[in-house]
């Protein structure tokens, strides 16, 4: 990994997402305000990872079919434990969102 950045949410009930794609992995950081009961960075990161894995499986299945027929192949998305650890390490920020005063 050549660099790691992280963004915070811009609204109290939102998420901050930073991603850094690489040829064989994607580093992702997910943040949210811990003061908001409606956001859960760990759940969002898990769901995002699951979506990436499903996309990879679709690409791999298409590549297998294309390889058998001689068609061009798709680039598969991959995910790794480093990205998962990075996402879990930024579970929820300890900041409070802007006050509504």
Can you tell me the distance from the alpha carbon of 10 to that of 91, in angstroms, rounded to the nearest whole number? 16
Helix (H) or strand (E) holding 17: strand 15-21
Domain segments of the chain: what residues? Answer: 15-89
| Whole-number pLDDT of residue 42 | 93
The token pair that represents 43 in the structure block: 């759940």
Q: Considering only residues 44 and 94, tell me which one the structure prediction assigns the higher pLDDT.
A: 44
Residue 33 CB contacts under 8 Å (≥ 6 apart), including other chains: 9, 12, 13, 39, 92, 93, 95, 96, 97
How long is the chain? Answer: 101
| pTM, rounded to two decimals | 0.61
Q: How many CA atoms lie within 13 A of 64 on its CB side?
A: 5
pLDDT tens-digit series, residues 67-95: 777 666 655 444 445 444 444 444 443 33
């Amino acid at each position: 990994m050549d660099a790691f950045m992280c963004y915070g949410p811009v609204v109290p009930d939102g998420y901050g997402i930073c991603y850094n794609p690489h040829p064989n992995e994607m580093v992702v950081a997910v943040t949210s305000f811990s003061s908001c009961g409606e956001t859960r960075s760990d759940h969002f990161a898990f769901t995002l990872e699951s979506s990436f894995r499903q996309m990879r499986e679709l690409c791999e299945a298409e590549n297998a079919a294309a390889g058998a027929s001689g068609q061009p192949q798709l680039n598969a998305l991959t995910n790794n434990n480093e990205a998962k650890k990075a996402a879990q390490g930024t579970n929820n920020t300890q900041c409070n969102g802007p006050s509504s005063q």
